[in-house]
Amino acid sequence: EVLPTTKKASVCQCLRLVKGLRKKCLPPILHVSRLNSSTSSSPVPRITTHYTVYPRDKDPRWEGISMERFADEADVIIVGAGPAGLSAAIHLKQLASEQGKELRVCVVEKASQIGAHTLSGACLEPKSLQELFPDWKERGAPLHTPVTEDKFGILTEKYRIPVPLLPGLPMRNHGNYIVRLGHLVRWLGEQAEQLGVELYPGYAASEVLFHEDGSVKGIATNDVGIAKDGSPKEVFERGMELHAKITIFSEGCHGHLAKQLYKKFNLREKCEPQTYAIGLKELWIVDEKKWKPGKIEHTVGWPLDRHSYGGSFVYHLNEGEPLVAIGFVVGLDYQNPYLSPFREFQRWKHHPAIAPTLEGGHRIAYGARALNEGGFQSIPRLTFPGGLLIGCSPGFMNVPKIKGTHTAIKSGMLAAETIFQKITDENFHSETAGVHLPEYEENLQNSWIWKELYAVRNIRPSCHTALGVYGGMIYTGIFYWIFRGKEPWTLKHKGLDAHQLKPAKDCTPIEYPKPDGKISFDLLSSVALSGTNHEHDQPAHLTLMDDSVPVNKNLSIYDGPEQRFCPAGVYEFVPVETGDGQKLQINAQNCVHCKTCDIKDPSQNINWVVPEGGGGPAYNGM
Amino acid sequence: MSARVLVGVKRVIDYAVKIRVKPDKTGVVTDGVKHSMNPFCEIAIEEAVRLKEKKLIKEVIAVSCGPQQSQETIRTALAMGADRGIHVDVSGKDYENLGPLQVSKILAALAKKEDVRLIILGKQGTFASQVDFQEDSLKVEREIDGGLETIKIKMPAVVTADLRLNEPRYATLPNIMKAKKKKIDTVKPSDLGVDLSSQLEVLSVEEPSQRQAGVKVETVEDLIKKLRDSGRI
């Protein structure tokens, strides 16, 4: 069920009251409690109950419960049915059918239906789709909106400064299509099923399985029937094990299994940490007079200052009704803990250059997702014994173009080609039980993905000077437009996004305007539009490594940024039942699986794990 | 022991999704919207499967009336333990006009054809909260406004499931894989001799009107005055 709004309203009132008190009398106590949680004035309430933090083999409630799992085998297992995963599955089957071979390909996907967790702008460069399906048009791929007009502007508080989009600049979109990526992914799923791929939406891969020699054996899907307090329910059942010669991990940006694999196989030792942004998006039915099918508009500038990377998009779709996709992206390396990406998005809509398009229209969808910004410098090692990474999970997004779908599809195809060659080669004997395919990495480095990402590698880091985003634009103008990215140096990123926040005492709170209910909206009604829901009686999947950190560190030093950066209102600081102080309340049911909290938590204490399959947003063509 | 049970399962828009009325007002938007099995139908299937596990009945047949996608819902029922499925293929305009009368005619025809002794459906009918199976009768306990009522009924019978009847099991992945091998027959309503024509015509579908803000008054006199002014008294 969606959280009752009245309860939340009164909680918010209490919170404001307590905040007022806190500023007057609590800071000294909080400073002390920061050092040692056992001296804090109130006991730490138990928040996390998930078995990844509190293992079941030591839990008396789980004594005598059979933990055996049913297991099955396939040739290739793919985790995540997004553009990359489905392209890999499709291409494997295409190759198998061309060469008269049999391959069992299974895809697991945490969304209840294919496309329900997909969210993107999106402006698609069709070149890799063209490679995958030269006849995509005849097959009815939902690319209905060729780009007809492309505008770029810098916003100030009241005005818009147009910036000419000269041919050769990365953000030019001539020849591309505006798509509803969720619908394209759904179509890819249908093509995959027709080719014989086994698709299992509603089943999340929750655990990586390993052979004795340490290579990846496959995955296990989530257990079901665990109560909120972590105990087994009557309907408890173990997930299933799926074993394969090779497992493809295509979980999208900041995947939770990928996070484990980076550590286990040390895949990030030679690359920079990944950096991210959060993208929030809404779909609007606008007044027909305002509708210009095929028109693309991007802005930078207001309401963000030049040191906060981000901008907006407005894409006019051409699919029958006057539908416009709008969105706002905020780089997660922002420094001010009082910044709320959601509220920046809402207030941006009121700008005189944007509001007229939305006036008289109404909003029909909302959602959010983190996206990669690290580009070339942040690509990790892609292969390990028994598995490999494709798509936005390792991260092949071309940041200045804001496109990652075309590279994701291509990486899936390259993985498929490399895998097919190896496992159908009779003379191939793997040294490890799970197949290791370093050739995939070589093939990717020889492909256009690598060249494209190399050419734009310095644009995002060039925004870190005192000139901010404008420095980035100047850099792009000189080094990309003129020199095509051939400069011999590679700029570095600033480090982990989570470490960029300044303490709250050094920053100014931002005064956001109240939503007007016509163009801008409050958080809860927005979350309701995402259709998100989770089985209520399960452990919260937003797990804390240490339950005392949110209040003792995040709240005391950074004023609880998680209550602002979460686009779904999952994190709330509420007063404790007895005495003074606050505790973190996690409304796990609201989660839209964007992964921002796992990325931006300054304490890196939040570990997002996958909830029971089928839960999460119900996006339709986002 | 040789009894067959028919369970109706309906594919409906997921309860957490916001419904949107189509611009032409002929109905609600369903294309691409997340659908799932009606939660009460899940309870009905669970009850039927439990009866089979207790060896009180022989076979559970899951039935769904609707377009091609209804087969997914039947697959879930099969994964929960139903033995086979029947998909009554109704799509397009016929599906939009498919009302309770038409569905009950279809279920009645199927029940006769498959020699069914018990039909279990999701709520809105007889809301049972406990069912005890005896040789050729059923003892049903149901929740009514005044409390609990226990009745004994002969079979063939129709029972509908209320929330507290049971907690449905999950359709786990191994069972979904096995369910792909179970049979789903497709029939057309005409094969069953059922006429789908409806006596009802939908004129328009609209969103409920927005709730108007209330007005606060300070005194009783104010209240009387406001009620008089708006013509209520």
**Helix ranges, B81-159 (H):** 93-96, 100-113
Mean pLDDT of A298-322: 91
What 3-state class would DSSP assign to B99? coil
A460 pLDDT above the threshold of 50? yes
Measured in angstroms, the CA of B169 and the nearest CA of chain A are apart by 5
Contact (CB, 8 A) for A191 and A133? yes
CA gap A601, A404 in Å, rounded = 25
**Nearest CA distance, A449 vs chain B (angstrom):** 32
DSSP B106: H
Cβ <8 Å between A531 and B23 = no
Mutate to test the interface with B, among A68, A70, A110, A113 (most CBs of B within 10 A): A113
Token readout for B118 is: 């018990």
User: Per-residue DSSP letters for A156-187?
Assistant: -SS-EEEE---TTSTT--TT-EE--HHHHHHH
| Closest chain B CA to residue A285 | B23
- For residues A507 and A335, is the Cβ–Cβ distance under 8 A? yes
Beta carbons within 8 Å of A187's beta carbon, 6+ residues apart? A140, A141, A142
pTM surpassing 0.80? yes
Kindly state whether B172 is in contact with chain A, defined as any CB-CB distance less than 8 angstroms: yes
Give the chain A residue whose CA is nearest to the CA of B32: A620
Mutate which: A3, A70, A207, vs B, most B CBs within 10 A = A70
Question: Among B17, B167, B172, whose Cβ lies nearest the Cβ of A618?
Answer: B17
pLDDT at A548 over 90: yes
- In sequence order, which residues have a C-beta less than 8 Å from that of residue A79 and are 6 or more positions away? A85, A107, A108, A205, A219, A247, A248, A249, A250, A251, A255, A257
Instruction: Compute, in degrees rounded to 10, the torsion defined by CA atoms A188, A189, A193, A195.
Output: 20
Inter-chain CB proximity A235 and B169 less than 8 Å: yes
Q: What is the DSSP letter of A536?
A: S
Residues 120-159 of B with CB under 8 A from A: none
Q: What is the DSSP string of A67-133?
A: ----EEE-SEEEE--SHHHHHHHHHHHHHHHHTT----EEEEESSSSTTTT-----EE-THHHHHH-
Give the per-residue pLDDT at A15. 47
pLDDT of A111 = 96
Quick: pLDDT tens for B37-64: 999 999 999 999 999 999 888 999 999 9
Q: Which amino acid is at A344?
A: E
pLDDT tens readout for residues A104-162: 999 999 999 999 999 999 999 999 999 999 999 999 999 999 999 999 999 999 999 99
Q: What tokens does A185 get? A: 């992914």
**pLDDT for residue A18:** 43
Could you tell me which of A454, A474, A464, A472 has the C-alpha nearest to residue A333?
A464
| Whole-number Å distance between alpha carbons of B140 and B150 | 6
How confident is the model at residue A320, as a pLDDT?
Answer: 87
* Element holding A388 (H helix, E strand): strand A387-389
pLDDT band at B124 (very low <50, low <70, confident <90, very high): low
Cis upstream peptide for B156 (omega within 30°) = yes
CA triple A205-A206-A210, angle to 5 deg: 90
Nearest CA to A96 out of A195, A185, A189 is that of A195
**Amino acid letter, residue A99:** Q
- The model's pLDDT over A370-396, given as tens digits with 9 standing for 90+, comes to 999 999 999 999 999 999 999 999 999
Q: pLDDT-based confidence at B126, cuts 50/70/90? A: low
Sort out which chain B residues have CB atoms less than 8 A from A240's CB and list them: 172-174
Chain A contact for B30, CB < 8 A? no
- Cross-chain residue pair B176–A200, CB shorter than 8 Å: yes
pLDDT tens digit string along A207-221? 999 999 999 999 999
- Distance between first and last Cα of chain B: 65
Closest C-alpha among A208, A205, A213, A207 to residue A385: A213
Comparing CB atoms, the residue among A203, A221, A364 nearest residue B20 is A364
Q: What is the pLDDT of residue B127?
A: 66
Mutation target vs B (from A104, A620, A622; most B CBs, 10 A cutoff): A620
Higher pLDDT, A483 or B226: B226
Contact between residue A91 and residue A408 where contact means Cβ atoms under 8 Å apart: no
Torsion angle of alpha carbons A347, A352, A355, A356, nearest 10°?
180
Q: Looking at beta carbons, which residues of chain A come within 8 Å of B69?
A: none
Bridge partners (DSSP) of residue B118 are B5, B157
Higher pLDDT, A363 or A489: A363
Which of A233, A285, A618 lies nearest to residue B14, judging by beta carbons?
A618
Q: Is A464 a residue whose pLDDT tops 90? A: no
CB-nearest partner of B174 from A70, A115, A321: A70
C-alpha A254/C-alpha A406 separation (Å) is 18
Q: Which pLDDT score, from 0 to 100, does residue A28 have?
A: 36
B167 — contact with chain A (CB < 8 Å)?
yes
State percent of chain A over pLDDT 70: 93
Question: Does the distance separating the beta carbons of A182 and B32 come in below 8 Å?
Answer: yes
Quote the minimal CA–CA distance from A77 to chain B in Å: 14
Whether residue B56 contacts residue A42, with contact meaning beta carbons closer than 8 Å, is answered with no
Q: Which residues of A touch B (CB under 8 A)?
A: 1-2, 70, 72, 112-113, 115-116, 182-183, 186, 200, 203, 221, 224-225, 233-235, 237, 239-240, 285, 321, 364, 528-529, 531-533, 618, 620-621
The ipTM (two decimal places) reads 0.84
pLDDT value of position A43: 65
- Give the 3-state secondary structure of residue A597: helix
Which tokens is A346 given?
A: 């809402």
Q: Is B80 helix (H, G, I), strand (E, B) or coil?
A: helix
**CB pair distance less than 8 Å for A237 and B18:** no
Q: Which DSSP symbol is given to B226?
A: H
* Among the partner residues B23, B34, B176, nearest to A618 by beta-carbon distance: B34
Residue ranges of alpha helices (H) inside A395-467 are 405-423, 438-445, 448-455
Confidence check: pLDDT of A579 > 90: no
Which strands make up the sheet holding A383-384, listed edge to edge? A198-201, A105-109, A76-79, A246-249, A387-389, A383-384
Please name the amino acid found at residue A525.
S
Q: Are A221 and A106 in contact (CB under 8 A)?
A: no
3-state SS, residue A32: helix
**Chain B CA closest to residue A618:** B34
Residue A618 pLDDT > 50 = yes
Give residue-wise pLDDT tens across range A262-279.
Answer: 999 999 999 999 999 999
Which of A501, A389, A544 lies closest to A47 in space, CA to CA?
A544
Identify the DSSP state of A302.
T
Q: How far does the CA of residue A1 sit from the closest CA of chain B (Å)?
A: 7
DSSP H helices in A530-617: 549, 556-558, 562-565, 596-600
Q: Do B167 and A235 touch (CB under 8 A)?
A: yes
Helices and strands in chain B, H and E counts:
6, 11
- Mutation target among B167, B170, B176 for the A interface, most CBs of A within 10 A: B170
Query: What is the Rg, in whole angstroms, of the alpha carbon atoms belonging to chain A?
Result: 24
Lowest mean pLDDT: which of A82-96, A225-239, B135-149? B135-149
Q: How far apart are CA A550 and CA A45, in angstroms?
A: 11
B170 touches chain A (CB under 8 A): yes
CB A320: neighbour CB atoms within 10 A? 9
Q: Which of B34, B35, B177 to mutate to test the interface with A (most CBs of A within 10 A)?
A: B34
Q: What is the CA radius of gyration of chain B?
A: 22
pLDDT of residue A42: 54
Residue-wise pLDDT for B4-40, tens only, equals: 999 999 999 998 898 899 888 888 998 889 999 999 9
DSSP A496: -
- Rounded to whole angstroms, the Cα distance separating A615 from A118 reads 14
Residues of A within 8 A of B23 (CB-CB) are: 285, 321
Q: What are phi and psi of A94, to 5 degrees?
A: -65, -45
Q: Which amino acid, A392? A: C
Asked if omega into A513 is within 30° of 0 (cis), the reply is no
Question: Can you give A327-372 as a three-state secondary structure string?
Answer: EEEEECCCCCCCCCHHHHHHHHCCCCCCHHHHCCCEEEEEEEEEEE
Q: pLDDT tens digits for A146-181? A: 999 999 999 999 999 998 887 777 777 888 999 999
Task: Please tell me the distance in Å from B154's CA to the nearest CA on chain A.
Answer: 32
- CA dist., res. A529 & res. B19, Å (int): 9
Task: Give B-chain residues touching A70 at CB under 8 angstroms.
Answer: 174
Look at the alpha carbons of A155, A159, A163, A165 in this order and tell me if their dihedral is positive or negative.
Answer: positive
Question: Chain A contact for B168, CB < 8 A?
Answer: yes
Q: How far apart are CA A339 and CA A602, in angstroms?
A: 14
Taking CA atoms, A222 is separated from A38, A59, A106, A248, A264, in Å, by: 35, 19, 16, 18, 21
Residue numbers of A annotated as active site: 120, 369, 405, 566, 591, 594, 597
Q: A220: cis peptide before it, omega within 30°?
A: no
Any residues with CB less than 8 A from the CB of B117 and at least 6 apart, and which?
Answer: B3, B4, B5, B57, B155, B156, B157
CA–CA dist A349, A499 (Å, integer): 30
Contact A240 B14 (CB under 8 A): no
